[in-house]
A = this chain, B = another copy of it.
Amino acid sequence: MAKTVGVIGGMGPMATLDFYRKIIKNTKADSDQGHIHVLIDSNPKIPDRTAFILGKGESPLDEIVASAVRLQAAGCDLLAMPCNTAHYFYDDIVEHIGIPLINMVEEVAGHVSACYGKAAKIGLLATIGTYEAGVYEKYFKKYDIDIIVPDDTGKREVFSAIYGVKNGAGDVPVDGVCDVVNSLVQNGVDGIVLGCTELPLLVEKFPSGIRYIDATEILALKVIQMSC
């Protein structure tokens, strides 16, 4: 039977919008009725994830759990969370719910391993929180995938672009991120993970001819697969 998918959203709203769009676009449906039942909780009460990881803000865990519990109570059969940094709290979240929460970062690790083989060398664009907490390293080490991260200046450039989207800044400058991408390519990476859900909103302006691995898209495809 078709399942109802809950989305722990709002981290940020534009990223949730992009995720919902990717679910719709990738669903084979020829009518309104052919789509997936999706319940999206775009919850702005969730505090900033990176701020907490850096010891500069309150924990987002309670509000993430509140969203998860709300979605479960509303009848969702499984959950997805289109925010990479929030996956730092994954193990704590699942303790509070009785339905599966798809692990986006684990899905990306599986995808990378399947597509690029073991011992792949993958660049990671992410928030400072995701870098500092080693969110990707935790799941990628199972597959012996080598993660290449930018230097501190590069990390700040990526972070600045991400928060440009969150800040509603309009035309976000990405020159710094483009430099980071070129530097990762020079480093010999096989592909680059867009490891923050704001990044797909900017990727059209990144250098072309490089294999970008879109975590949001991978999560959307998994949602569609699991919803049937």
Contact = CB atoms under 8 A, between A and B. Distances in A.
Contacts of A73: 73-74
Contact of A47 (B29, B33, B41, B44): B33
Interface string A103-132: 000000000000000000000000000000
Interface stretch (A14-22, A138-146, A183-191): A14-22
Contact of A13 (B24, B43, B70, B166): B24
Contacts of A40: 20, 38-40, 42
A12 B24 CA distance: 10
B46 A42 contact: no
B31 A48 contact: yes
Contact of A32 (B12, B33, B34, B36): B12
Interface residues of A, number: 36
A37 interface: yes
* Copy count, this protein chain: 2
Contact of A20 (B11, B17, B39, B47): B17
A35 B44 contact: yes
B48 A42 contact: no
Interface string A167-185: 1100000000000000000
Given A70-B74, A74-B70, A44 B48 contact: no
Given A33-B47, A38-B40, 14 more contacts: A10-B32, A13-B24, A13-B32, A17-B17, A17-B21, A31-B48, A33-B46, A35-B44, A37-B42, A37-B43, A38-B42, A39-B39, A39-B70, A40-B40
